[in-house]
Amino acid sequence: MLANGNICERDSEVKKLVLMALGAGSMIAIAAPAAAQTVSGDVTITGTVTPKCTVINGTGPTTFAASRDIGELAKADGTLETSSVLAGRFGLAGGSAPTFRVVCTSANPLIAVDAVELTTAGTPPSGYTSRIDFIGYVAPRLSSGAGTTVSNDSSTNAATPATAIGGRFAADGSDNITVTADTFKTAPGALLASGAYTGHILINITPGT
């Protein structure tokens, strides 16, 4: 009986040791920190720049204007002043030819030009005229140099359609459009009727692509 009792006591001691070991292992497992784990994310930002053109220092964000008084249009004999004289006056009136600054987000904007003849009120008699035709020019300056100059002859009575300028407008802070006029003409030998004459160079710029 004593021997069996010793065996029982020994088994009990073993069980205690096993339980203690298991308990200690559990405590170690509980005390050990969890393995480090990182997460990542991505927030995508998108936007769009639409093709557009804007006038800088114009009469508005989408308009620009200037005027040139080229003085007396007729020579002493009543016929039209020499074209080169009138063209020079146009270029020098106000100190220089009219210039403007336009910015476009697109790579190849388009320019359309319509030169509208100089006229005065009334219908003149035979041998006289109240109409002076001319050619208007719009020359763009590009970021890579000179662009395509677009011109229009008022005698055609039709605008020059929108024409690609060949690149992006220069964006260096200076004016990038110059307007000139030449080839002033009337019917050969016609006398100019007196009056105040007005003409226009109408310019339309679109972004293109």
pLDDT at 36: 87
**Cα distances (Å, whole numbers) of residue 23 to 27, 29, 105, 147, 150:** 6, 10, 74, 88, 94
Supply the pLDDT for residue 153.
98
Tell how many helices (H) and how many strands (E) occur in the chain.
Answer: 2, 11
Residue with tokens 């050619």: 135
Q: Are 104 and 207 spatial neighbours (Cβ–Cβ below 8 Å)?
A: yes
Q: What is the pLDDT, as a whole number, of residue 95?
A: 80
> Is residue 131 a contact partner of residue 115, using CB atoms and an 8 Å limit?
no
pTM greater than 0.75 (yes/no): yes
**Could you report the per-residue pLDDT of 128-147, keeping only the tens digit for each?**
999 999 999 999 999 998 89
**pLDDT at position 26:** 53
Asked if residue 7 has pLDDT above 70, the reply is: no
| Contacts (Cβ under 8 Å, ≥6 apart) of 193 | 120, 122, 124, 128, 129, 130
Q: Are 165 and 205 in contact (CB under 8 A)?
A: no
pLDDT band for position 1 (cuts 50, 70, 90): very low
Minimal CA–CA distance to 179: which of 156, 157, 149, 145? Answer: 149
Determine the average pLDDT of the residues in 49-73.
Answer: 96
Residue closest to 186 by CA, chosen among 72, 81, 67: 81
What's the pLDDT at 144? Answer: 92
Task: Tell me which of 22-36, 42-56, 63-77 is least confident.
Answer: 22-36
Answer with the residue of higher pLDDT: 34 or 2.
34
Instruction: Compute, in degrees rounded to 10, the torsion defined by CA atoms 166, 91, 122, 153.
Output: -30
Residue closest to 123 by CA, chosen among 187, 193, 200, 191: 193
CA angle 66/130/83 to nearest 5° reads 60
In angstroms, the CA 166 to CA 189 distance is 40
Question: Does 200 have pLDDT greater than 80?
Answer: yes
Q: How far apart are CA 72 and CA 118, in angstroms?
A: 13
Contact 140/148 with Cβ under 8 angstroms?
yes
